[in-house]
Amino acid sequence: MEEINLSAIIEAVLFAAGEPMEEEKLCEAAVVTKNELDDAIEKLNEKYSFDNSALMLLKLENSYQLAAKESFAPYIKAALEIKKNSVLSPAAMEALTIVAYNQPVTKGFVEQVRGVDSSGVVNSLVEKGLLAEAGRLDLPGRPIAYKTTDNFLRAFRLASIKDLPELSDQKEQISFDELLENKEREEQQ
């Protein structure tokens, strides 16, 4: 199969899918090897890298998705009458961070880390498509575990959950006791 035809096949499949498609499925659909798929993806990325192309390929974990470039978002929103994206509350960002770095986790785990009821926040993140159920844990009550989704990766422009920034080392962080000692010293001076 010629690379030009293969690139066109991959482009057509991704366009028709409208959602992320795993590399394995793309290989099966186009009857090609992983290396041939990689070459076709590279050709498509070259094609879309030109300024006059409105499209781009998103790599999400081991999947690809055809998407419009961000510079076209205002026109797409206007045409589809999409309202402005809602900003996540600090509580939602906190819960999302807890899940992203510790997934899969239960609502109870999120609540334990945050110290407050987080059911509403987690449910809201599920409704927004940023979190999804990851099965049930084999514990009493069989609680639901949650994980981040491909929408989470897209929203935060990550190719993989492994691309999350590293958490600072615990040793580098100041403890609450040290903070109090510093404040007491400042007050004494």
Distance CA 93, CA 82 (A): 23
Return phi, psi of residue 106, to 5°.
Answer: -95, 165
pLDDT at residue 147 in the model: 94
Q: What's the alpha-carbon Rg for the chain, to the nearest Å? A: 22
Supply the mean pLDDT for the chain.
84
Question: In this structure, are residues 69 and 56 in contact, taking their beta carbons and an 8 Å threshold?
Answer: yes
Place of tokens 């994980």: 147
Question: In this structure, are residues 124 and 117 in contact, taking their beta carbons and an 8 Å threshold?
Answer: no
On the 0-12 / 13-18 / 19+ scale of CB atoms within 10 A, 8 is: middle
Distance CA 7, CA 21 (A): 15
Instruction: Work out the average pLDDT over 73-80.
Output: 81
Task: Output the pTM of the full model.
Answer: 0.56
Residues 120-169: tens digit of each pLDDT: 899 999 988 899 999 888 888 888 999 999 888 888 888 888 888 887 76
pLDDT at residue 187 in the model: 72
Kindly indicate the confidence band of residue 1, based on its pLDDT and cuts at 50, 70 and 90: very low
Question: In this structure, are residues 110 and 98 in contact, taking their beta carbons and an 8 Å threshold?
Answer: yes
Q: Is the pLDDT of residue 83 over 90?
A: no
CATH class of the domain comprising 3-74? mainly alpha
Q: Which residues of the chain are in CATH 1.10.10.10 domains?
A: 3-74, 90-172
Q: Is the pLDDT of residue 53 over 60?
A: yes
Statement: 90-172 belongs to CATH 1.10.10.10: yes
